[in-house]
Amino acid sequence: MESQRRNPKSDDNTQRKKLPRASDALPLPLYITNTFFFFLFFAIAYFLLLRWRDKIRNNIPLHVLTFSELSSILALIASLIYLFGFFGIEFVQSSAAAAASAATTTTITTDDSSLVRSVVDGSMPSYSLETRLKDCRRAAMIRREAVEMITGRSLEGLPLEGFDYESILNKCCEMTVGYVQIPVGVVGPLLLDGIEYIVPMATTEGCLVASTNRGCKTIYASGGVTSFVLKDPMTRAPVVRFPSAKRASELKFFLEDPLNFDTMAVIFNESSRFARLQSVKCGMAGKNLYLRFSCSTGDAMGMNMASKAVEQVLSFLQDEFPDMDAIGVSGNFCSDKKAAAVNWIEGRGKSVVCEAVIKEEVVTRVLRSSASALVELNILKNLAGSAIAGALGGFNAYASNIVSAIFIATGQDPAQNVESSQCITMIEAVNDGKDLHVSVSMPSIEVGTVGGGTTLASQAACLNLLGVKGASEGSAGANSRLLATIVAGSVLAGELSLMSAIAEGELVSSHMKYNRSSKDMAKSMLTSCS
């Protein structure tokens, strides 16, 4: 069996070695040939310079050439042509082969060209390419060519190669034409509940990773962060309609009666191994009733799981209340991907609190600030300033930045950053005003470690770095809860660093250093215009 195993890379190398090369036609080894032409060029050039100097001294016309001079000029031209190939035709051939290989990977064949035309003229739906071709990468290439032809605009710069399009089919994205590259940085170690984590962050904003990393250093030097998961409910809230408000209120009382909860829970929980109903709360608008089901969903973020379970409950309720009209499985009382007070108050996903005590010496040495300055800034900016703005869960410096960066790196839904970034940052002086007690309270961190974008190779690698990849082997939901605490702990680190930068007037200077080009654009424009 071992002898039958083959290494694809070694096979490729062997195949390359078997390919004929231009240097095979040379009578001598390549390095000898290169050396010969190198010295030939300079020797002939030196000989001709000496001959021309003698002609000038003896008043002999330069265009009158002897046989030796003519032969030397021809040899000089020949060696120059060889040297233009950068020490031989071997380099020229390898470059040409690489260009030909690159052209081969992106060239549309005759069959593909007809498919592109079919997509352009509408005879073949673009969305059906993967199904018809059974080749997701080829489908993306044809769709890409069709888009360029239809719009008259190039997609050059948007990568196509190097991505597993099969892995996202019917899962993450449709109508693919390539993928976007986002750099991933790491911060840490983040000392959270006595364990060190290196946290990946995907972002295009300069300073964000550096700033969060400084916060992690501050926390580490002070003994770390302690986290608490208060609640873990995913929610789904369908809207139903009745002929009258009286009938709607009867269903409300029925659902909120503790005697009926067990029946609802049995029906709800039958839909999945992990869905477990926690509570049902109702809101009314006339004869319309909004049913907010809260449930645990294991290590999945759980939106689809909750929706499936809710549909089963609605089918049961339809029998008990035949005049009920189920308008939609989501009535926005959930509330998903929207800034809503219900999430800020009741929570959605993981409700997490993180706290740390930062020593006076660390505040001075690492943050280059003081306890009194940070306390005052937090009150005036994060609390009073956000209240003046009418913020909804936005009582923080920039929690959204850290949440989005970790979400993108670990395959979470970036749109759920809306509610997941709801956060109130508290900074208080303790120990006779010398040290700082810092905390972040985040009631709606919506994360999962299975399903969705977590299955992609790059995102799975980032989850693996944190030790939360896939479903937890012990307690159901342990990995997703841990990921939520890592997000909150990283937010605390970012809050500390940014607040100190603002307090000490370093915000603008740091962004100008890390997040702006140092190139003189005005000078470049003048140069290009001239």
- Looking at CATH, the fold of the domain delimited by 234-342 is given as Alpha-Beta Plaits (3.30.70)
- DSSP assignment of 80-107 equals HHHHHTSSSHHHHHHHHHHHHHHHHHH-
Among the listed residues 231, 287, 308, 337, the single catalytic one is 337
Tell me the per-residue pLDDT of 179-201, one tens digit each, with 9 for 90 and over. 999 999 999 999 999 999 999 99
* Peptide bond before residue 125 is cis, with ω within 30 degrees of 0: no
Contact 502, 427 (CB under 8 A): no
Euclidean distance between CA atoms 319 and 311, whole angstroms:
13
Percentage of the chain lying above the pLDDT 70 cut? 85
Exposure string (b/e) for 436-472, b if CB count within 10 Å is 16 or more? bbbbbbbbbbbbbbbbbbbbbebbbebbebbebbebb
Nearest Cα to Cα of residue 225 among 353, 356, 363: 356
pLDDT at 527: 40
pLDDT at 44: 81
Contact 30, 90 (CB under 8 A): yes
Number of other CB atoms surrounding residue 238 within 10 Å: 23
Q: What is the pTM of this model?
A: 0.76
Partners of 226 in the β-ladder: 355
Active site residue 205: yes
Nearest Cα to Cα of residue 138 among 166, 170, 117: 166
Which residues fall within 8 angstroms of residue 99, CB to CB, at 6 or more apart?
Answer: none
Active site residue 473: no
Tell me the per-residue pLDDT of 257-294, one tens digit each, with 9 for 90 and over. 999 999 999 999 999 999 999 999 999 999 999 999 99
Among the listed residues 69, 112, 193, 205, the single catalytic one is 205
Partners of 356 in the β-ladder: 438
What values do phi and psi take at 21, rounded to 5? Answer: -120, 155
Question: Is the confidence at residue 84, as pLDDT, over 80?
Answer: no
What's the Rg (C-alpha) of the chain?
Answer: 34
184-232+350-515 classified as CATH 3.40.50.300? no
Among the listed residues 413, 419, 446, 495, the single catalytic one is 413
**Apex 277 CA angle, 271 and 283, nearest 5:** 115
Tell me the per-residue pLDDT of 199-240, one tens digit each, with 9 for 90 and over. 999 999 989 999 999 999 999 999 999 999 999 999 999 999
Tell me the per-residue pLDDT of 477-524, one tens digit each, with 9 for 90 and over. 999 999 999 999 999 999 999 999 999 886 655 555 555 555 543 344
Helix residue spans in 107-199 (DSSP H): 110-121, 129-133, 136-151
The one-character DSSP state at 293 is E
Tell me the per-residue pLDDT of 99-116, one tens digit each, with 9 for 90 and over. 544 444 445 566 889 999
Among the listed residues 231, 308, 381, 511, the single catalytic one is 511
CA distance to 91, 413, 448, 461, per residue, from 196 (Å): 49, 25, 21, 18
The one-character DSSP state at 182 is -
**What is the layout of strands, in order, in the sheet containing 394-395?**
226-231, 350-358, 435-445, 423-430, 394-395
Euclidean distance between CA atoms 188 and 491, whole angstroms:
12
Euclidean distance between CA atoms 359 and 323, whole angstroms:
63
